[in-house]
Amino acid sequence: YRRTVFQEQGAFDTRFPMASGEDADFSFRLSDRGLRMVFNPEAVVYHVHPTTLGKYLRQKYWRAYWRNLIYRRHLSKMWKDSYTPNTLKLQTLLGLVFPASLAGLFVGLPWSFAPVLTLLAILLLSVPFTCWVARHSLPLALVTPLVLFLRTFVLAAGTAHGAIKGLWVKKDFL
């Protein structure tokens, strides 16, 4: 967006305590007002990526936690935003369902397959991205499924924490 639009529309919501979705919230607010964001291949953006797996997973946890607030404000974007792939949303949902699927182990057939099928679905959803990584770096592709698997459960935990904390119902955040 142009700087003037950024300033006129209220900029980022400072109630986000860290870089955790305030940019998506801002874009969704502008989209709700009929404004469009267009890709500019000449634009330069700088940001720092996490340098360790632990930092990456911690970042993902808090982003998932705060996503509750964003989707509360912009419910229609839960499945329709163009930034977060639906496969990632589905993986997160499966990560949330997995603990309940463990009950299938005690119920017997056919429910005893539920945990295995849930884990298999999570891994299968990581195949397209893993193949993309393999085209660029085979050694990195070998660890990609593990990283995506860990990310799934970290996102699920952050999402659950945010929901339990009450971000879905606190009116002062809306």
> What is the distance, to the nearest Å, from the Cα of residue 144 to the centroid of all Cα atoms in its chain?
17
pTM: 0.85
Which residue segment(s) compose the domain that 93 sits in? Answer: 3-173
| Predicted confidence pLDDT, tens digits, the chain (174 residues) | 677 888 888 888 887 777 788 888 888 888 888 888 787 889 888 888 999 999 999 999 999 998 888 888 888 888 887 778 889 999 999 999 999 999 988 888 888 999 999 999 999 999 999 999 999 999 999 999 999 999 999 999 999 998 888 766 666 665
Q: Name the DSSP letter for residue 16.
A: S
3-state secondary structure of 152: helix
State the Rg of the chain over Cα.
18
Number of domains present in the structure of the chain: 1
The H or E element spanning position 97 is helix 86-101
Q: Name the DSSP letter for residue 109.
A: T
